[in-house]
Structure 1
Amino acid sequence: SIPAVPGASRPPARGPAIEPSAAPATPKPSPISDTVIFTAPPDREARLESRSPVLANVQPNQATKLAGVDNVLTRLTRSLDQVEARQLAMLSSAEETLESKLRRMRGVITDLGLDMGQLEAAAPKGAMGGPFVPVKLGAESGPFERQLYRINITRAQVEKMNRTLSLVPYRKPVIGEVEFTSGFGVRSDPFLGRPAMHTGLDFRAATGDPVRVTANGKVVNAGWSGGYGRMVEVDHGNGLSTRYGHLSEINVKIGQQVKIGDIIGEVGSTGRSTGPHLHYETRIDGEAVDPQKFLRAGVRLSAG
């Protein structure tokens, strides 16, 4: 036996022999594998998902695109409808104005007892020409085209009537306010004091004031004519004529063509006159008619 050494540890008790290859008491780790399982943290997982392409959202929604186009077309159609409505309203106003003017023109000629056919035949025609191409409205014509067609027809009729009325003496022979010193009809003769027929209107005016022709025509008399003194007579065609008496000066010659507003002479007091004024007559087929009838027609025509 081996003697005990003081302070030395006691040798372990002998037990069965341990095999070198025997497994230790703690569990063995899992064997190493070629497959690696990686688990991403939740926030990382979310970031990865957000980067994943979503094919459903790449292509725009076709229905949404069509709806947008429909909205644009609807707004455009509404805008065009509003423009067309305004245009139709303007055309309606223009059409009513032209029709009203045409009615007044025809009414004036009727009231004056003039023959429309004769006046239209004698009316001057402008220099124009070209092949005849009739205007037709297609079956597909809309309200705008039909209304514009009517307006053009009415405008042509108004222009023709204007040419016709250029031969009717309804304008004033002197400028300024109309003031009569003597009217048409029976009156007391200023020289004899007896009733006598006054065949015209006496316009108050000063010596030298311009006298203007009241319609287109041709001068058929220009000179001294008895009680008229210096007098100008203009033939307007279709039996219509005007006379301008007591002139101090005459500015036209027989055979001269004159147009509305041309100055044919100056106011005076020649002939059978008591003072400066214009004696003005309108005649139909040689017979004197009241000039006020024509002047009222002029007021009516200028009303609109």
Structure 2
Amino acid sequence: MPMSYRSGHYSDHHHPHDHGRTPPRRPAPQAARAAAAVDGNGYAIVHAGKHVRFGPVVFWIVVGTIVLLGMWSAATATYFAFRDDVLTRLIARQAEMQYAYEDRIAELRAKVDRTTSRQLLDQEQFDQKLDQIMRRQTALESRATALGAIPDAAATGSIRPPARGAAAETPASGTLKPSPISDTVIFVAPPDREARLESRTPAIAKPQPNQFAKVQGVDNVLVRLQTSLDTVERRQMAALSAVEDSMESRLRRMRGVFTDLGLNMGQLEAATPRSAIGGPFVPVKLPADAGAFERQLYRIKATRAQMQRLNATLALVPYRKPVVGEVEFTSGFGVRSDPFLGRPAMHTGLDFRAATGDPVRVTANGKVVSSGWMGGYGRMVEVDHGNGLSTRYGHLSEIHVRVGDFVKIGQVIGAVGSTGRSTGPHLHYETRIDGDPVDPQKFLRAGVRLSSG
């Protein structure tokens, strides 16, 4: 920049005191073209003889502007120098954030899928368990129906006293003496059988297909239902076991009657009249998956079939008593003193104390082979029960049947009297095997054992 001088003027004229001195050299034209001067009021720029003056504020503004432009240039150069790295890092950051969001979204989706799958699995398991419970309840209900369908097995043709004649046949005063055989022989089921057979399964309301409860609550409900069904099943099994035990016990007693009486059960069964029945033979087969209940029920049905067959056979065995109400023997079977002659004589039957006109009932199914006056028997009825068994009813005042009639257990065949060789109203009762008299009490005692328990 051209040198600055204090403001002043150079004269081309020589000062008088400078005479003789070497005149100063003129500045070169190029140097005189531009110059700047600074005085107390500001700055001046001289160029080609022209002066440009400006103040200090403007000067510093210009200087500041130049400095700012320089700094801006430097910053711009730096930015462009590092712009690629910044953009790269910025893009990488954006990509990282995007990947992070995508991973989070994928994780949430997977969690939702797992939750949905778990709910669907829980719902499916609940439906399966509920379906299993429903099937089990249905099976228990069918079992209860099967238990209720088991009839009480009773001896065929039990003798029961008529309702309207009971007062006349039973003494009005006094304590009744024990009877050697009950009027009726009935198989009695356990007292609480009916209660046991009732299905106490709580009503199960099947939820709507889209309804879903909490897992814990559902599990509690299923556990309660299973417990209730277990209780019902145990009661049913207990009832079934009681029925089976009772039937087996009675079957043993029924077979014991034949043993006690020395009768051939096979021959009696063969002689038993058969009803008009038939059909193809279809063997009973248990399913391969049959449970304990089904097997036990099958055994009960088989036992019941045997009992029915034995009941039909026992209907031909005279183990019941011929009169109802109070029973008192006035004379037993065997040797006794003859009431008319006073000498020892064989009494071939039992004498039952009774009043004249009391009904006399047949003690087993059979056919009347004798009906009328028979010597010392007076009016007498004899019934053939088949297979050599027969019974006689003597000293009757009335006879209500004729020869050839078929009579059934408990049917009234006459009335008590004192006809024939008799000292007073009573019933002379005999049991015979192949025509030979046997002690009727043997049959009566067998009947007592059969009806007990």
Normalising TM by the smaller chain, what interval?
Answer: 0.7 to 0.9
1:29-40 residue pairs with structure 2 within 5 A?
none
Partner residue, 1:141: 290
Secondary structure in structure 2 of the residue aligned to 1:235: strand
Q: Tell me how many residue pairs correspond in the alignment.
A: 264
Greater shift, 126-135 or 290-299, is seen at 126-135
Partner residue, 2:424: 275
1:49-198 residue pairs with structure 2 within 5 A?
60-63=115-118, 66-67=121-122, 70=125, 73=129, 75=223, 79-198=228-347
1:229-240 residue pairs with structure 2 within 5 A?
229-240=378-389
Greater C-alpha radius of gyration? 2
Q: Which amino acid aligns with 1:111?
A: D
How far is the alpha carbon of 1:90 from its aligned partner? 1.9
Secondary structure in structure 2 of the residue aligned to 1:274: coil
Greater shift, 63-72 or 190-199, is seen at 63-72
**Could you list the runs of 5+ residues in structure 1 that have no partner in the other structure?**
1-13, 23-53
Secondary structure in structure 1 of the residue aligned to 2:445: helix
How far is the alpha carbon of 1:127 from its aligned partner? 2.7
CA deviation digits over 1:101-146, x for unaligned, max 9?
A: 1100001111100011110001122332211111112332222221
Residue number among 244, 262, 279 corresponding to 2:411 in the alignment: 262
How far is the alpha carbon of 1:87 from its aligned partner? 2.5
CA deviation digits over 1:30-63, x for unaligned, max 9?
A: xxxxxxxxxxxxxxxxxxxxxxxx7677664533
Q: Provide the rounded CA distance (Å) in 2 between the counterparts of 1:89 and 1:231.
A: 51
Greater shift, 165-174 or 68-77, is seen at 68-77
Q: Provide the rounded CA distance (Å) in 2 between the counterparts of 1:207 and 1:17.
A: 169
Partner residue, 1:41: none
Partner residue, 1:222: 371
Secondary structure in structure 2 of the residue aligned to 1:246: strand
Q: Which amino acid aligns with 2:117?
A: Q
How far is the alpha carbon of 1:64 from its aligned partner? 5.2
Q: Provide the rounded CA distance (Å) in 1 between the counterparts of 2:285 and 2:315.
A: 31
Structure having the higher helix fraction is 2
Indicate the RMSD between aligned Cα atoms, in angstroms.
2.8
- The alignment's TM-score, normalised by the length of structure 1, stands at 0.78
Q: Which amino acid aligns with 1:178?
A: V
Greater shift, 130-139 or 184-193, is seen at 130-139
Q: Which amino acid aligns with 2:280?
A: P
Q: Provide the rounded CA distance (Å) in 2 between the counterparts of 1:62 and 1:172.
A: 78
How far is the alpha carbon of 1:195 from its aligned partner? 1.0
Q: Provide the rounded CA distance (Å) in 1 between the counterparts of 2:242 and 2:273.
A: 29
Q: Which amino acid aligns with 1:171?
A: R
Percent identity between the two aligned chains: 73
Greater shift, 210-219 or 135-144, is seen at 135-144
Residue number among 428, 431, 444 corresponding to 1:295 in the alignment: 444
Q: Provide the rounded CA distance (Å) in 2 between the counterparts of 1:248 and 1:83.
A: 59
How far is the alpha carbon of 1:85 from its aligned partner? 3.2
Q: Provide the rounded CA distance (Å) in 2 between the counterparts of 1:189 and 1:69.
A: 91
**1:247 paired to 2:401:** no
Q: Which amino acid aligns with 1:62?
A: S
Secondary structure in structure 2 of the residue aligned to 1:110: helix
Secondary structure in structure 2 of the residue aligned to 1:214: coil
Give the number of the structure with larger relative contact order, counting CA–CA contacts within 8 Å between residues 6 or more apart: 1
Greater shift, 278-287 or 142-151, is seen at 142-151
Secondary structure in structure 2 of the residue aligned to 1:223: strand
**Could you list the runs of 5+ residues in structure 2 that have no partner in the other structure?**
1-40, 43-54, 62-107, 130-221
Q: Provide the rounded CA distance (Å) in 1 between the counterparts of 2:243 and 2:363.
A: 29
Q: Provide the rounded CA distance (Å) in 1 between the counterparts of 2:124 and 2:335.
A: 83
Partner residue, 1:203: 352
How far is the alpha carbon of 1:78 from its aligned partner? 5.2
Greater shift, 287-296 or 85-94, is seen at 85-94
Q: Provide the rounded CA distance (Å) in 1 between the counterparts of 2:232 and 2:326.
A: 46
CA deviation digits over 1:232-280, x for unaligned, max 9?
A: 0000011100000000000000011000001000000000001000000
- The alignment's TM-score, normalised by the length of structure 2, stands at 0.54
